[in-house]
Structure 1
Amino acid sequence: MPKRAVTPDLGVLLPSWLLALRADRKSEQTVKTYSDGARAYLAWCAAHEAEPLERGSIRAWVAGLLEAGAQPTTARARQLAVRRFTSWLAEEGEIPADPFVGIKAPKLDAKIVEPLTDDELRALLKACTPPKGATPAEAMRYRRDEAMLRLMLETGARAGEVVSIELADVDLQAGTAVIRKGKGGKGRVVPFGPHTALALDRYLRLRAHHRLAVTPALWLGDRGKGFTYDALHKALGMRATAAGIVGFHPHKMRHTAAHRWLAAGGSEGGLMAVAGWTRPDMLMRYTKAQASARAADEARSLNLGEL
């Protein structure tokens, strides 16, 4: 009877996989998401004495996530992380074959994300106005957050892409910013108008006095720290709370930007190019919440009932 293959220590191999992800130019946020998912799975397997390379184990783990109240999108992302890990293990010859090939992902609900209204956007931007008596450091944080919000609103750039922008990537006179770390390693140039340029200029004049002003990163944090995705999430969340907006998430700015582009008469092709989408279905996913309202406005302007 043939001996059963010994499962390698997957925890020891995790750092090598993360190196491979970075070599493939995956964003740091993607690397973190994959790492967290794989680590969580291995920890669950250890706690339940489950074999990590068996299909029953990953199915039980995902089922447990859903039963514990995790969103289907979260469970799907966690499962995807594990599947990416085992695929890499097979490619590297660490295991004979990927045991999770063809395994189904959790079914997602057709979730619709409503864009922010114009009143909410105005309140959000107003919350970024420095109060009287603010110190230069405090004023810089307010101006930084306004500049980020305006850039995200006008370009539809992902939060992770915005965080990665460097000082040299921004040209205020031309009204452009270079996205060098787009999804899938694809870069692009995004345009912005005078209001965003003004917000960036106000921030940059205050940024010049920061202790890290000579560093390449565009956005600077508090007390000499760098600025991360988590910092962006926290900073903009605070502004949203001050503006009285419930359920805010930075990714909602991308949905809002896409809706406003189409509502203003912008082309779908132009939106895809600026937002960094390569598939039309992604555009529909982000803009379907207000599709009927846009269609109604367009129908009224066409006035096809006039005969």
Structure 2
Amino acid sequence: MNYPIGSFIKKYFSHYLPTQKGLSSNTILAYRDAVKLLLCYAADILNKSVAELYVEDINESCVLKFLDCLEMTKKCSSRTRNARLAAIKSLFAFISREEPVLIIQCQQIQSIPLKRTKYRLIQYLEEKEMQAMLNAVDINSSNGTRDQALLLLLYNTGARVSEIAGIKLNDLQLNGSAQVKLMAKGKKERSFPLWPETVLALKNYIKTRSPKHINTNSVFLNSNGLPVSRFGIRYLVRKYGLLAQEKLPSMPVVTPHMIRHTTAMHLLRAGNDINMISYWLGHVDINTTHIYVEIDMEMKRKMLDNLESPSASAETPWQKPDILDWLDQLKNRLNYVE
């Protein structure tokens, strides 16, 4: 007996992930994209339509070939490959619970190992570079107050781009003990105190905020008065990063996540405990936060300055006199004369 894969997929995405697992919409959509790619690949190599695919069609060999295709043909990185594989493993773990007859096939797919990825040092901005980005905003332009408030909030909170895009008006408290509430990964709420500069920028922006629909509750809007998207925020951050590069050519290309790293590094340099920075960033595992200690060259220099260097001889090392070099070449000179 063969089992159509479509029936499992519908229940997996419509009930299991959102209801039983309680995953965020962004995670569910990422899993959806991975499964769509796998189904299309399997249908192509088997010369079937997607609707005709059975669970038995997508075995360990098929998944391995799909992963190779991602890397070789589509030029995906090992990290992307691993993310796709994680989604596929989750699907087949669900199928094995729904239909025990398929457990061996599902276990074979679940046993496919993740690929080792290259360790990359994260990038962040120095204080003067972050300030150059903020200075690049023309406050008198049509969206200047919005862009200033957005950049300040990103830097102030170290939030992920999806968290900033999802902020609602009722998440802001701009009077008294000013703070903002964010919905983090895993539907966890986090609150942050705000700098006076951030509060002032947000107040100035909200005065001029013009939503297309009166009931729009999102704080940041695009030029059409609609809630700004993650891609819109990335565009704005890149735009002001490029403007800042005109004064500081050594600046890297800036992304919203780089500003998140920047906040973490600057908090660390200010003497804050690594555990508190982990809470600030919303890291589940503190080992994720330790990377900031690893890459801070300024802190490493200070550590080395506190260590007394060993004594070493200051005498000039012996060097071969020129006359000895000349004598070494004498044989060649004599051969040339002969």
From the superposition, tell whether residues 286 and 14 of structure 1 become closer, same or farther in structure 2 (CA, over 3 Å): farther
TM-score (norm 2): 0.77
Report the CA distance between 1:265 and its aligned residue: 0.7
Q: Distance in 2 between matches of 1:94 and 1:170?
A: 49
Q: Identify the residue that residue 302 of structure 2 maps to in structure 1.
A: 297
Query: What secondary structure does 1:96 align onto?
Result: helix
What residue number does 1:254 align with? 260
1:31-42 matched pairs, under 5 angstroms: 31-42=28-39
Shift of residue 108, structure 1, vs aligned partner: 0.9
**Given that residues 42 and 58 in structure 2 are in contact (C-alpha distance below 8 angstroms), is that contact kept between their aligned partners in structure 1?**
no
| Residue aligned with 2:102, SS | coil
Percent identity among equivalent residues?
22
- TM-score, structure 1 normalization: 0.84
Paired AA for residue 67 in structure 2: V
Amino acid at match of 2:110: V
Specify the alignment match of 2:23 in structure 1: 26
Tell me which residue corresponds to 1:231.
Answer: 232
Confirm or deny that 1:53 pairs with 2:53: no
User: Which of 172, 175, 178 is the equivalent residue of 2:174?
Assistant: 172
CA RMSD after TM alignment: 2.5
Structure of greater relative contact order (alpha carbons < 8 Å, 6+ residues apart) = 1
Contact 1:150 1:196 in 2 (8 A): yes
1:78-157 pair list within 5 angstroms = 78-93=84-99, 96-97=102-103, 98-99=106-107, 100-131=109-140, 134=141, 138-139=142-143, 142-157=144-159
Contact 1:116 1:253 in 2 (8 A): yes
Q: Is the 8 A contact 1:166 1:218 kept in 2?
A: yes
- Does 254-263 or 229-238 show the bigger shift? 229-238
Amino acid at match of 2:133: L
Pairwise CA distance, 1:28: 2.5
Shift of 1:130: 3.2
The one-letter code of the counterpart of 2:111 is: G
Separation in 2 of the partners of 1:117 and 1:57?
Answer: 47
Instruction: Describe the superposition over 1:89-145 as per-residue Cα deviations: whole angstroms up to 9, x where unpaired.
Output: 3334497323422220121111111211223212221232234xx3xxx22xx3323
3-state secondary structure, aligned to 1:248: coil
CA distance in 2, matches of 1:220, 1:83: 38
Q: Give 1:299 deviation, angstroms.
A: 5.7
The aligned counterpart of 1:190 is 192
Q: More deviation in 275-284 or 188-197?
A: 188-197
The superposition leaves residues 26-85 of structure 1 with CA deviations (integer Å, 9 ceiling, x where unpaired) of: 223222211111111111111122965311111111122222321111111111122222
Number of residue equivalences:
289
Distance in 1 of aligned mates of 2:35 and 2:8: 11
Tell me the amino acid that sits aligned with residue 49 of structure 1. L
Q: 1:14: Cα distance to partner?
A: 3.6
1:279 aligns with 2:285: yes
Give the secondary structure class of the aligned counterpart of 2:191: strand
1:54-69 equivalent positions in 2, closer than 5 A: 54-68=59-73, 69=75
Q: Is 1:77 aligned to residue 83 of structure 2?
A: yes
Q: Give the secondary-structure state (helix, strand or coil) at the position aligned to 1:90.
A: helix
